[in-house]
Amino acid sequence: METKEIKNEVLLGKPNLEVFSATMQKLAETDRGIMAVTSDSRGSGKLVPFGQKFPEQIVEVGIAEQNLVGVATGLAAMGKKAFAVSPACFLTARSLEQIKNDVCYSDNPVKLIGISAGVSYGALGSTHHSLHDYAVLRAINNITIVAPADNFETEAAIRSAAEMETPVYIRFGKKAMPQNLGSIDFEFGKGRVLKEGSDLTFVATGEGVWPAYQAALKLEEEGIHATVLSIHTIKPLDTGLIEKFASNGQPILTVEEHSVNGGLGEAVASHLFQNGFRNKFKIVGLPDDHTVHGSQVEIFDHYGISEEGLTKTAIELLK
């Protein structure tokens, strides 16, 4: 794996999508039940090498996302480990009825893979942004929702998903991500503690974790000690871990590449408020507005999902 050394001895690795593809190939080498189903998305899903190596284990349905989920559901019902791979914006909007009824209600263990998630498509605009997926899927029973923060979480999530007997949704962006920001422990529904501090807590998920981690290192230079939690599983939420770090009464700042409505932040706030916690609280995500156009980095910078933006927000929250 090509790497680049960055701050605090964290190594920048590959885009999580490439790790997804490599993991799928490793699994398929020994498991003929692994199936990839794509909707004109094997290229953007980095599955061309998979298709070349395992042509009998990939199904292309064309630009027909409802059919994608239907075919994957049929394969799963026949005992296959079906991964339905499509841009997150279309997978969780056009195919929502199929996800609700065919996958979740019917309890078929389809692995739904939302690629180019969040604002990864950048300048293509709101039609191609998936800022709703956590919200709509959180409202559906019987599905695990996952957003890996680094290459380690990605490989672990795909390996775990392959063995799940219930539905799971995993979303990936496009840019290179750190190899591993923390320990080598991974379990769906259990967050990871990447850094501990006593002054405030960042509760982040997916590609929002890295800027939160960078901000925590920057705050350290100012004498402010922040905890960083990678909550890779949005549902079920690791409420025990969140309560543990909320119990000191210090501010909590959630970070996500999703609308501020219905995502990680609201899930955390709802749980804490209903259980008697009254910490100062701030949700950082995409506002309920027309999203600006630009690259993912430019959009993150605009909305403060960056080292500089989160550092500033944290300091303001501490005041």
Pairwise CA distance, residues 308 & 198, whole Å: 21
> Nearest CA to 129 among 261, 271, 292, 315?
292
Q: Are 114 and 87 in contact (CB under 8 A)?
A: yes
Sequence ranges of the domains in the chain: 4-178, 192-318
> Nearest CA to 203 among 301, 81, 317, 291?
317
Query: What SS3 class is residue 201?
Result: strand
Pairwise CA distance, residues 111 & 298, whole Å: 31
pTM score of the predicted model = 0.95
pLDDT tens for the chain, 319 residues: list them. 333 444 556 788 999 999 999 999 999 999 999 999 999 999 989 999 999 999 999 999 999 999 999 999 999 999 999 999 999 999 999 999 999 999 999 999 999 999 999 999 988 888 999 999 999 999 999 999 999 999 999 999 999 999 999 999 999 999 999 999 988 899 999 999 999 999 999 999 999 999 999 999 999 999 999 999 999 999 999 999 999 999 999 999 999 999 999 999 999 999 999 999 999 999 999 999 999 989 999 999 999 999 999 999 999 999 8
- Tokens for 224? 């402010």
Query: What SS3 class is residue 87?
Result: strand
Pairwise CA distance, residues 138 & 194, whole Å: 25
Q: Are 173 and 11 in contact (CB under 8 A)?
A: no
Which CATH number applies to 4-178: 3.40.50.970, 1.10.3720.10, 3.40.50.300, 3.90.1150.10? Answer: 3.40.50.970
- Tokens for 310? 């989160």
CATH code assigned to 192-318: 3.40.50.920
pLDDT reported for residue 4 = 42
Evaluate whether 4-178 and 192-318 have a shared fold: yes
Q: Distances in Å between the alpha carbon of 265 and those of 15, 143, 208, 285?
A: 25, 19, 12, 8
pLDDT reported for residue 52 = 96
> Nearest CA to 235 among 159, 308, 133?
133
pLDDT reported for residue 221 = 95
